[in-house]
Amino acid sequence: MGMIRTLRAVVRIRRRERDRVARRLRSAANVDDLRSIARRRLPAGVFDYIDGGAEDELTLDRNVRAFRDVTFRPRVLRGLGEIDTSTTLLGQPLALPLVLAPTGFTRIADPAGELAVVRAAGRAGIPFTLSTMGTRSIDECAAVAGPGARLWFQVYAWRDRSLIRGLLERAAVSGFEAICLTVDTAVLGRRERDVRRGFTLPPEIGPGTFLDGMRHPGWTWRLLRSDPIRFSSAEGLAGQDGTTAVDLAGYMNEQFDHGLSWDDVAWLRTVWDGPILIKGIQTVADAKLAVEHGVEGIILSNHGGRQLDTAPAPFDLVPAVAEAVAGRIEVICDGGIRRGSDIVKAVAAGADAAMGGRLFLYALAAAGERGVDHVLDLLRTGTERTMALVGASKVADLGPELLEPR
């Protein structure tokens, strides 16, 4: 009996969690855990579309390793007070130096798609960027955004400029704050996982795709019960009456403009009054040109390693770019973010904020909207903890002296 009393004093029996989603999230200690759960829950072709990169995926791997290759130089005995992760971006408050990236075909991860991410981003106090290839419309996203939510819109350079004008007019009416012009898609990168799986855009359903779905009945059932997946923002533009992603994807792929130039950035100024950010900057030279052309920000990005393989990792570019632009425009580091410590490293290296997309897609596939809340909380607490451990009580305290020189 004495032993039982002793055990009761030091051991608490964990009750089985009845909530299946809560049980799933309890085992997800980081983004990689959410990735593993997503892999189990999604058909292989769908998971590879989200997870994969271009060709040998060297850039995809380098995006993550770039952060892991850099170590901190923590400071101690600095009399830290309360840790404050808030900052500003484009002149507006930000609870955490993180922006959620634009992602296409988001509803293949979960039927709620972008709506779940908009709500979670609003609760976290960070911006969400809606892709032109999004599967929820500008109006739908604006309708679920809570008070103070920050919405950005991503656009591609299309041959038919009326398409862009129409989208930006809708975004302005719906209260979107800024636009991101993606400039690294003169052609689509070759994503060889998709080739092997037979997963294409526009999507084509073959025997392999069908069998893959049958092995994941939960995902298939949720997809069949939900509304058809559509490129909602682009429907109805330029006379397109297609109601499915299959109809519009082919048309939109044909619209990518190989001739995009800095003159097109000047044209954007004539149709958009708010901040403009260029997404896909990969050299110091182009960062300087962005300053000369008066944009408000640049996003160092290689499209998540999905376009040009062996392109530079965005984090590797941050110090030189930050020095070159010298605070004249905002600098965002997109790609490879897996932990709060990565956000801290990006800001310490000179970025104003980090950006990530796969991290919330994994979470969405793992546990829907609650999964997105979970991953954003992991990143927030990870940022707080890392700031405390390196001796920084506020974002302004983060600087290159906290990182080992490379």
Residue 22 Cα distances to 27, 227, 332, 373, angstroms: 9, 26, 33, 12
Helices (H) and strands (E) in the chain, counts: 17, 10
Cα gap 225→238, rounded to integer Å: 30
Contact 352, 126 (CB under 8 A): no
CB atoms within 10 A of CB 26: 12
DSSP string spanning 93-147? EESSSEEEPP-SSGGGT-TTTHHHHHHHHHHHT--EEE-TT-SS-HHHHHHH--T
CA dist., res. 33 & res. 25, Å (int): 9
Backbone angles phi, psi at 173, to 5 degrees: -60, -35
Q: Rounded CA gap, 357 and 365, in Å? A: 13
φ/ψ (deg, to 5) at 286: -70, -30
Residue of 304, 306, 404 lying closest to 349 (CA atoms): 404
- 405 preceded by a cis bond (ω within 30 of 0): no
Active site residue 303: yes
Of the candidates 216, 258, 303, 374, the residue annotated as catalytic is: 303
Residues facing 353 on adjacent strands: 332
Return the bridge partners of 378, or none.
Answer: none
- So which residues are the catalytic ones? 303
